[in-house]
Amino acid sequence: MKTRDMNRDWIATAATLNAALPYLQRYDDAIVVIKLGGHAMGSDEGMESFARDVVLLRQVGVNPVVVHGGGPMINAMLDKLGIQSDFVNGKRVTDAATVEVVEMVLSGVVNKRIVQAINRQGGKAVGLSGKDANLMVCDQTDPDLGFVGTPSEMNPDLLRNLFAHDIIPVIAPLGAGRNGETFNINGDTAAGAIAGALKADRLLLLTDVSGVKNGAGEVLTELKAAQIREMVADGTIAGGMIPKTETALDALEKGVRAVVILDGRAPNAVLLELYTEHGAGSLIRRD
């Protein structure tokens, strides 16, 4: 007969689970779109941890959708193949040769890595791109940038059908043109468009910063849309944070309940955001 003393860590774990109950109830059957950035993918260990969190979400009744980027991987492949890129106003021109590499890397290497990681943790993930079932039909963003698209028509019924079968969609940010073209889409833009089309409860933008910061460099845990606009106007929000907050505001206008910008490199960042009182990043709501 074995005896066992109660360990403080065990008690703390039980208390954490107990405290999570209201949030588990809150997000039951909710749609949560997660944008996984190229840098936030991190190591194999980090990917495994992320996949485990996503499978846990599905297990407790959430409908997660993963939309991924892959910029660093695309750059590495272009260099390897010796394909030179032109830039206009700091933005890469995606010509016919480049878009083929983009599709190969995003729909192939990156997408399947995430799918396999989720499936290894016991989930049922399926890899897609915005071209599948015309999920994202695009118009050309700027003729000077080549095959870069902006989603103009969304058809999310396929995703709802996958939810009904407990399948986790993993989506590469590529879209179908109206004349058979393939368009590369900014990953944040794609995630925001998908979240808006689904009227998602949450859009989580996983990045390599801890959230939106004020002038003193402190992370702001909750903001309204008007505050975001003011901070962009006065220069507090600048650089790479501007397109992320623009994505957030656009998603809110399309019906997403709230958007969170958080550090995807932090362990269990998604779970901390959804199932704890303090969250893990900057929560942005409508005014």
**Token pair 């995630």 in the structure block, residue:** 191
Is residue 146 part of an annotated ligand binding site? no
Beta pairing class for 136-140 and 87-88: unpaired
Place of tokens 């879209």: 175
Q: Is 90 annotated as a binding residue?
A: no
> Does the annotation place 281 within a ligand binding site?
no
* Residue 114 main-chain phi, psi, to 5 deg: -70, -45
Q: Report the alpha-carbon distance of residue 261 to residue 233 in Å, rounded.
A: 19
Where do we find the tokens 């095959």?
A: 147
Q: What is the 3-state secondary structure (H, E, C) of the chain?
A: CCCCCCCHHHHHHHHHHHHHHHHHHHCCCCEEEEEECCCCCCCHHHHHHHHHHHHHHHHCCCEEEEEECCHHHHHHHHHHHCCCCCEECCEECECHHHHHHHHHHHHHHHHHHHHHHHHHCCCCEEEEECCHHHCEEEEECCHHHECEEEEEEECCHHHHHHHHCCCEEEEECEEEECCCCEEECCHHHHHHHHHHHHCCCEEEEEECCCCCECCCCCECCEEEHHHHHHHHHCCCCCCCHHHHHHHHHHHHHCCCCEEEEEECCCCCHHHHHHHCCCCCEEEEECC
CA-to-CA distance for 251 and 253, rounded, in angstroms?
A: 5
d(CA 123, CA 102): 27
Known binding residue 92? Answer is yes
Cite the annotated binding site for substrate by residue number: 70-71, 92, 184
Cite the annotated binding site by residue number: 70-71, 92, 184
